[in-house]
Amino acid sequence: MMHLRRSPEEIATNRARYEEHQKKGLEFAPKALPGPSVLPAPAIDAASVIHQETIPGGWYWSTKLQRGEAIRVDQAEGSSTVALVAWNAADTSERINLVDTAKVQWTTALGKGRVIFSDMGRVMFSMIEDSSGAHDCLMGGSTAASNAAKYPGEKTRNTRDNLILVAVKLGLDRRDIPGILNLFAPVRLAEAGGFGWQGKRSNSGDYAELRAEMDMLVGFSNCPHPLDPDPAYQPKPIVITRYKAAAPTKDDLCRTATAEAVRGFENNALMQA
C-alpha cells in the first residue's frame, strides 16, 4: 500500500496552529466567562412575555422560536432534568449538534456565556443566563428499556418516545431526532472515564435562559435523567417562558466570549445576509 506522507514542515506548521487555538480555547475562554446567574430568578418583564407553558412531569412539548426570542426553562417545583432538541425552522436537516458544540468550545461543560451549535457551524442558542452550570451533552435521555430497568413494574413515560412524538407531530420522523441536551443534569466524567451525578450542582429553582439565534423548532421532554439518583419516578413540572429578548449589544457576552463563538456568529450573519 503506497502512501506519500506530508512533509515534516507542513506537519509542524499545522501542529503549531492547533496548539495556538487550543491554548486560546482552554485558557482564554474560561477567564472571560462569568459565574452562574443569581438565584432566585429575576422576574421577566410582563410586556415581553409571549407565552408560558407548564410541562407536567413525564410529558413533552414543542414550540417555534423566532430569532431574537428567548426561553427561560425554570425548575419551578423541584430538581428536574429537561431534554432539549432543536431544528432550523427553514431547513430541518440543520439541527442541534452537541458533539460539535463541545468540540469547538473545548469543553463539555456548558453554562452562562456558552453557545450551542448546529451541524452547519452556526449558533442556534446563546446561554444568556444559567444558574446551575450543570448540564449534560453526553448521555442522552431515558428510553422505554432504561425506565423499565430503573423503575420495574411501573408505567412510566420516557424521553425517546416523547421526542418521537415531538418529531412526528412536526412532520419529521425518528430519523430526525438528534443527540439530546439535558438541562439540569449534573453529569461529569471521572478521571477514569466513568460518569457520575454531582447532585449538589443543581438546586431546586435553577433556571436557564436560551436566546434563539435563528428561527427554530424546539422540542422538550420532561423525564428523569437516566443517571438521576432518585429511585422513584417523580418528575416535577417545568415552566417554560417564551419572551422577546433584549437585542444583543456590540459587546454581548455570548457573541464575544470566545474566538469560536465570534466565528460561529459570522457564519450566522452569512445565512441572515
- Contact set with another protein (CB under 8 A): 1, 3, 5-6, 10-11, 14-15, 17-18, 21-22, 26, 92-93, 95, 97-100, 102-104, 106-109, 117, 119-122, 138-141, 143-146, 160, 173-180, 188-195, 226, 260, 263-264, 266-267
- Compute CA 203 distance to the chain's CA centroid, rounded to the nearest angstrom: 18
Give whichever of 152 and 194 is closer to another protein, judged by the CB atom: 194
Give whichever of 53 and 100 is closer to another protein, judged by the CB atom: 100
**Distance of closest approach, residue 179 Cβ to another protein, in angstroms:** 5
**Distance of closest approach, residue 42 Cβ to another protein, in angstroms:** 27
Class of residue 84 by CB neighbours under 10 A (exposed 0-12, middle 13-18, buried 19+) = buried
- Compute CA 103 distance to the chain's CA centroid, rounded to the nearest angstrom: 14
φ, ψ of residue 48 to 5 degrees: the values are -95, -5
Of all helices (H) and strands (E), which one includes residue 265?
A: helix 259-272
**Distance of closest approach, residue 62 Cβ to another protein, in angstroms:** 17
Pick from 228, 223, 230, 150: which is nearest to 195 by CA?
228
**Distance of closest approach, residue 84 Cβ to another protein, in angstroms:** 13
Give whichever of 3 and 250 is closer to another protein, judged by the CB atom: 3
**Distance of closest approach, residue 43 Cβ to another protein, in angstroms:** 31
Calpha distance 63→73 (Å, rounded): 13
**Distance of closest approach, residue 185 Cβ to another protein, in angstroms:** 12
**Distance of closest approach, residue 48 Cβ to another protein, in angstroms:** 30
| Residues whose CB falls within 8 Å of the CB of residue 125, separated by 6 or more in sequence, listed in order | 86, 115, 116, 210, 211, 212, 213
Give whichever of 138 and 165 is closer to another protein, judged by the CB atom: 138
Give whichever of 41 and 137 is closer to another protein, judged by the CB atom: 137
One-letter amino acid for residue 196 of the chain:
G
3-state secondary structure of 125: strand
Calpha distance 238→53 (Å, rounded): 8
Give whichever of 121 and 205 is closer to another protein, judged by the CB atom: 121
3-state secondary structure of 117: strand
β partners of residue 72: 209, 241
C-alpha cell at 1: 500500500
φ, ψ of residue 233 to 5 degrees: the values are -85, 100
One-letter amino acid for residue 129 of the chain:
E
Give whichever of 101 and 241 is closer to another protein, judged by the CB atom: 101
Give whichever of 74 and 260 is closer to another protein, judged by the CB atom: 260
Pick from 43, 127, 120: which is nearest to 84 by CA?
127
**Distance of closest approach, residue 172 Cβ to another protein, in angstroms:** 9
